[in-house]
Amino acid sequence: MASKQTVHMNRGQGETSYARNSSFQNAEQNRMRPLIEEAVADLLSSSNSSSRSMVITDLGCSSGPNALAIASIAVDAIRRCLGLQRPPPDLFVLLNDLPDNDFATVVKSLAEFKKNNEHVLAGVVPGSFYGRLFTAESLHLVCSSNSLHWLSEAPEDLKMKSIPAYDVDADVRRERRALVVGAYARQFRKDFMLFLQMRAIELVPGGRMVLSLAGRRSVDFASKFTHAWESVAMILCDMVHMGLIDKEKFDSFYIPIYGPSDEELRQIIQEESSFSIRQMQVPELTSGAYSALITPTRVAYMLRAAFEPIIVQHFGSSEGGEGIMDEFVRTAERRWSLEGSLEEELAQNPRGVLLVSLEKKLDIT
């Protein structure tokens, strides 16, 4: 690949923005509520509870309504947990994302949020969550929704050997699946390990983390597992078959995303050893609030809002800017035009979501 991929969601408030196409992710954030409430209750009842301030961060906040959703859940939980017993501590809410994120919109929403929430101070922290972001032992609660499956980069060994992440030929793809997925799994292990090490430095002893990320149910990646970004690859593959994008270009396109199994995640957390696992859940991707959201157009727009920047960066745009993405949406809608075909495609895939609640061990310095 010529240049480093710049990751961000579609900016602004327009029809194709992340702000208007992130209801799936918001459903996921709502699933984190009980875990955040439990973590907050635990923090407030612990020995640190006499502390007059509490620092909360949401890592990979993006922009739009979801950027403040997790912070709102945490602030509400604190207020409800304390009730009238004692005044709430000063809360410092810090929102993080990569520097190309639409922070201008986030800052405006934060100003509104502060107006409606007495005792809340707020700020943004641009930078990668795979590096240091905060001062040592300064954080009480770290949250992250729908972000940690984004790798720091696509696996270097695949790029160097020009092995496509998703071969257009289904037989070749099947033969290479273990190799490709293995490379992605190694990159995830390296990145997630680093993430845990950084947060172990930044959290206070007993500090909590509540995370949600794309994952999968199966541990058998060689026979069953498909990429967490399979739908994007399938749509682009259809576009190659229709002559809308170049096969060579597609072969060198790597989306830096990996969805681990719960077992993989557990092993990395245990190996890194700074955190104990309080809860880990693997809810069904298509259950609950999700099912109502699954329509071809919604899914196509959701994928566009999340992947347009890296698709356009790699393939270039046509027809004055958005040609390739308009075709992407049309191809997706055509692919799923038969009633039930989208649901069937999703059901065949062992993809899921992982929710995990962690506590920093007390003897880690």
Ligand X SMILES: C[S@@+](CC[C@H](N)C(=O)[O-])C[C@H]1O[C@@H](n2cnc3c(N)ncnc32)[C@H](O)[C@@H]1O
Residues in touch with ligand X (CB under 6 A): 7-9, 22, 25, 29, 59-62, 66, 96-98, 101, 128-130, 145-147, 150, 152, 306
Give the burial string for 64-75 (b: 16+ CB within 10 Å, else e).
bbbbbbbbbbbb
Work out how close the CB of 60 gets to ligand X at its nearest, in angstroms, rounded to a whole number. 3
The residue among 212 and 274 lying less far from ligand X, judged by its C-beta, is 212
Would you state the structure tokens that stand for residue 323, as one six-digit string? 């040609």
Work out how close the CB of 129 gets to ligand X at its nearest, in angstroms, rounded to a whole number. 4
The residue among 7 and 245 lying less far from ligand X, judged by its C-beta, is 7
Q: What is the SS3 assignment for 71?
A: helix
The residue among 89 and 259 lying less far from ligand X, judged by its C-beta, is 259
What separation in angstroms does the CA of 343 have from each of 112, 294, 296? 38, 7, 9
Work out how close the CB of 305 gets to ligand X at its nearest, in angstroms, rounded to a whole number. 9
Give the neighbor-by-neighbor strand order of the sheet with 120-126: 120-126, 90-97, 53-59, 139-145, 203-216, 351-360, 275-281
Distance CA 76, CA 81 (A): 8
Work out how close the CB of 327 gets to ligand X at its nearest, in angstroms, rounded to a whole number. 22
Distance CA 19, CA 352 (A): 23
Work out how close the CB of 31 gets to ligand X at its nearest, in angstroms, rounded to a whole number. 11
The residue among 129 and 225 lying less far from ligand X, judged by its C-beta, is 129
Phi, psi of 89 (to 5 degrees): -70, 165
Beta bridge partners of 141: 56, 208
Q: What amino acid is encoded at 257 in this protein? A: I
The residue among 25 and 117 lying less far from ligand X, judged by its C-beta, is 25
The residue among 54 and 213 lying less far from ligand X, judged by its C-beta, is 213
What separation in angstroms does the CA of 113 have from each of 66, 107, 290? 13, 10, 27
Distance CA 126, CA 103 (A): 8
Dihedral over alpha carbons 287, 293, 297, 300 (to 10 degrees): -60
Work out how close the CB of 130 gets to ligand X at its nearest, in angstroms, rounded to a whole number. 5
Work out how close the CB of 69 gets to ligand X at its nearest, in angstroms, rounded to a whole number. 7
- Radius of gyration (C-alpha) of the chain in whole angstroms: 21
The closest residue (CB) to ligand X is 60
The residue among 95 and 329 lying less far from ligand X, judged by its C-beta, is 95
Q: Are 350 and 217 in contact (CB under 8 A)?
A: yes
Work out how close the CB of 263 gets to ligand X at its nearest, in angstroms, rounded to a whole number. 23
The residue among 18 and 92 lying less far from ligand X, judged by its C-beta, is 18
